[in-house]
Structure 1
Amino acid sequence: MALAVAQPARLRVKILVTGTAGFIGSHLAMRLLERGDHVIGIDNLSDYYDVNLKKARLARFADHPNYTYLHADLADRTGIETAFATHKPQRVVNLAAQNPHVYVDTNVVGFLHILEGCPHHGVEHLVFASTSSVYGANTTMPFSEHQPTEHPLTLYAASKKANEMMAHSYAHLYGIPCTGLRFFTVYGPWGRPDMALFLFTKAILAAEPIKVFNRGKHKRSFTYVDDIVEGVIRTLDKVPGKDARWDGHAPDPGTSGIAPYRLYNIGNEQPVEPLRYIEVLEHCLGKKAIMEMLPLHAGDVPDTEADVSALIEDTGYRPVVSVEEGGGDFVDWFRDYVRQRSLMARCVQ
């Protein structure tokens, strides 16, 4: 489901995107290429999950004349410095991230290498992925960028909070415009195999139980991947300046005031209980789910709800895809992907 971007004729931009073999990164690369930009994609094809899925994502645009793939790790300082020096991107979107045991290498050290490359090579705007998980122990709904986020509940969230603070310091020191995007529970075609929608769909088809934490009684701002990508592109094209509204006292957490820096939530404004999410899958698959009800998972927050008023005010965009529509699209993709994998496996035999 591609969302058209209505805009006047524009100059082609050279954009460095990290994590183009990833879920969100591959969707973003496709959209940028479709609108005529040149994409330099960095990915290390880690084996955190199925590398074949990552290669299949890349295969959709790997041969595009405006796409350049670099096999590199963000933690490789020399490799990242070479990428900036060789390709001289005008804008950078940092989406690459890792999970347990490599958080610090990729999310902190790797992000530092990206930050270092920006002022030395004239980058006009850095956009980076953060997460709604930075809201942590906060229980004030909906979550707003103007609220404090000093109590993350997981190492992942802490590493992304560190990214936000690191980017602000570079925006202040070097005048590099930086925009951080707090994504809310992203789902959709080409998603990661360890994500709930993928796991639930696979289990329902196999008549296996699915683990439903907090007995499904919490709410999440489930956000379709096309909505996320649209938000990334809208903010990428809006280079922030200093917040003229700052009164000289404590800077606002979402806008700074002393640096060209912004934070935006990108999430669906209508939170949904996981049980409704599962009902949608059951309807699309024509099968009932076997549910194993469990307590709230350690590190999870009970609820998330996105306040996207800042995104709407500054870009004119709000996420619009419902879980009914997005869930159906995912199931269609999942069936086709599994069928293609089965055909490939039979051909190899």
Structure 2
Amino acid sequence: MPFDVLADDIDDCKLCEHIVGAAERHHHNNLGNTTQDQLKRELDRECFQFTHTHGDGAAKKCADFVNAHITTIYNDIKAGKRPKAVCKDLGLCGGTGGPPTGMPMTTRAAAKVNLVPEIFAPHDPCRTCAFIIGRAEHHFKPDETADQLKGHLEKECKQLAQLQGQEAADHCTKLVDTNIQTIYNDIKAGKRPHQICSEIGECAAFTGMPPTGMPVSGPPKVVKKTGPEILARPHDPCRTCEFIIGRAEHHIHNGNVPDEKRLLRELEHECIQLAQFEGDEASVHCLNIIQKDIDMIYNDVKAGKRPRQVCEDMGECQARTTAAPPPPSTNAMMSTTTSASMLKKLLNIFH
């Protein structure tokens, strides 16, 4: 687990209210025009953020929750139900179902007294700083000012209260207000979160430990763990393609990207982060897809083509007919050593 995140365990009620709250915001921000598939993609992205704040186990738990309950979440939010009511209906918060069935008896007893137990670890300024600088990397646009970046980060700080507690959210806001020009300049210069946080005094000086939990040898590897295994399934080029075209669809339809160049930059970040869920091979293949076909991706998504159709046109997915599958991509056959080396090189270029 990355060194700057909380423990993997997270209370089911808090998790539910956070995700359903995110669904509510997305639904309202899009004037009720979100489809169930679009909402699921947005919530999957929300779950991914748990790798930064709670660890891989919490991210997996979040993704499983979304998969199991997306229809209920979608219908209830469209009907105007609030997050607390939705989570009560699902039996994850007090009211109808009580604590989840898998909860130990001692925890169940405590839940009867306190229906929303405190899940936050003690406030860690370094963890808070690493989180918000990571979000600064995501939001940064060369054509925007430091004040515009500050506006994005202040919203992130407010939402942080749901993940790390109010003390972390207040510290986050103070950190942004005090250091926004430094943050802006350092992100523009290509500095990484832990380096910036060390220089502004929020984290201990960098001692050779790689930032954000990345091993010295490169991006995250599949490691046997006692908990749920996120990277268990083999690489599927079609699944990787549908994921990244879905993210392109999200960025274009939400107006996040004015041109192909900006879309490419956003998708590069998505591909690099994919290593944590799908492994190095998928991450490298993802980068190859967008580098090779960004113009097709941009134009086809703007023309209204769906991810599966775009991926079939690109030869990454087999057409839904009896036709023979396309020959395997040479990119998908790269060795693990080559994948890690290439991804590390790309990380150095884009960050």
> What TM-score results when the alignment is normalised by the length of structure 1?
0.30
> What TM-score results when the alignment is normalised by the length of structure 2?
0.30
Higher helix share: 2
Higher strand share: 1
